[in-house]
Amino acid sequence: MPGVPPTRFTYLGPAGTFAEQALRTVPAASRAELIPAVDVVEAVQAVRTGDADAALVPLENSVEGAVGATLDELALGEPLMITREVLLAVTFGLYTRPGAELSELAIVATHPHAEAQCREWLRANAPQARYVRTASTADAAVGVARGEYDAAICAPVAAEQYRLAELGKDIADTPGAVTRFVLVSRPGPPSAPTGDDLTSLVAFIAHDRTGALLEVLTEFAVRGINLTRIESRPTKERLGRYCFFLDCSGHIADSRVGEALMGLRRICADVRFLGSYPRADGVAADVRPGTADADFAGAREWVQRLREGRAH
């Protein structure tokens, strides 16, 4: 389309990372410009400055847990909004330059998360190898191609891109690891409810209020909302101060979610809404009796009638 610039996506690069793989599952990415970033901060910052329209960054991994840098970017600084989540099965292999043998490897490079997930395999199969950390698994592949390291633990897609040979396939000690990525953009209207959505937010609890976290969870429970994740992060003020990342089922357009957010807003020191977006894990929405939009509308109308003395 002449005159219309393509959408620009940044992602945790370099080319060949799991982030790129995840980004390619987003339909809009097929006709967009994809820009690798050095790290999460750079990827996200490009969105804030307008250099990119959205950034795909990892949020958590089923083995390694939360990605602190992503959480910090979401909780602090200029507000951002999650518009989509992408779940990607993470498969690691061991790759080298053609001709090398497993028993001869001296230096194996990879990202610390990948190393942690393949540690036992490496001890059993290449006990002589020394491990060197890289900024991403794709960086390790690049380094092997350049001759800096003997082998890399990385995704098959990266090995393919840098034309490396496979010495081991699916080498993670715990098979079936999944990374959850989120697509982050500047704030705007949330995407339309699909009937099976997640809502993410950060709650900064009031620290002079005992039992504040219990109160926060009760705001969801009392409205029948299921929390799918709770993750604490330091607020960086001092040890013992945390904020809480909460994911719940439902969309901010749902009455129960909106009213729960109102409750948090009233009892918390601060609340940051991070977005409502379609749920990717295929778990069906579970709306408890009495918490559907029609129930809220009916109850609201009833109270309104009582206030006006129209009916009892």
Which residues within the stretch 105-124 sit at the binding site for a copy of itself (CB under 8 A)? 112, 116, 119
CB of 19 to a copy of itself, least distance (A): 16
Q: Which of residues 234-253 bind a copy of itself (CB under 8 A)?
A: 234, 236-242, 252-253
Per DSSP, the three-state class of 166 is strand
Q: Which of residues 163-222 bind a copy of itself (CB under 8 A)?
A: 174, 176-178, 180, 187-190, 210-211, 213-215, 217-219, 221-222
Q: Which stretch binds a copy of itself (CB under 8 A): 8-16, 21-29, 45-53, 287-295?
A: 287-295
**Gap between the Cα atoms of 38 and 168, Å rounded:** 27
Q: Report 40-79 residues binding a copy of itself (CB under 8 A).
A: 41, 60-65, 68-69, 79
Q: How many residues does the chain have?
A: 312
Per-residue HEC secondary structure of 93-133 comes to EEEECCCCCHHHCCEEEECHHHHHHHHHHHHHHCCCCEEEE
Alpha carbons 142 and 32: distance in angstroms, whole number: 24
27 in contact with a copy of itself (CB under 8 A) = no
CA–CA–CA angle 270, 60, 51 (5° rounding): 75
Minimum CB distance to a copy of itself smaller for 6 or for 298: 298
Distance CA 184, CA 172 (A): 29
The count of other CB atoms within 10 Å of the CB of residue 103 is 10
Enter the tokens of residue 165: 């040979």
Span interacting with a copy of itself, options 20-28, 29-37, 143-151, 297-305, rule CB under 8 A: 297-305
Closest CB 134 distance from a copy of itself, rounded Å = 8
84 binds a copy of itself (CB under 8 A): no
Residues whose CB is less than 8 angstroms from the CB of residue 82 and which lie 6 or more positions away in sequence, other chains included: 74, 182, 183, 184, 200, 274, 275, 277
Cβ proximity of 271 and 261 under 8 Å: yes
Burial 230-269 (b: 16+ CB within 10 A, else e): ebebebeeeeeebbbbbbbbbbbbbbbbbebbebbeebbe
Q: How far is the CB of 101 from a copy of itself (least distance, A)?
A: 26
Selected range binding a copy of itself among 25-33, 142-150, 161-169, 264-272, rule: CB under 8 A? 264-272
Output the smallest distance, CB 121 to a copy of itself, in A. 15
Site size toward a copy of itself (CB under 8 A) is: 81
Residue 81, interface with a copy of itself (CB under 8 A)?
yes
CB of 10 to a copy of itself, least distance (A): 18
What would the two tokens of residue 271 be? 């609340």
Q: Does 83 bind a copy of itself (CB under 8 A)?
A: no
Amino acid at 191: S
Contacts with a copy of itself in 131-170 (CB under 8 A)? 133-135
The one among 8, 24, 229, 278 contacting a copy of itself by CB under 8 A? 229
**Shortest approach of a copy of itself to residue 218 CB, angstroms?**
6
Nearer to a copy of itself, 101 or 192 (CB): 192
* CA proximity to 181, closest of 83, 52, 284, 42: 83
CB of 58 to a copy of itself, least distance (A): 12
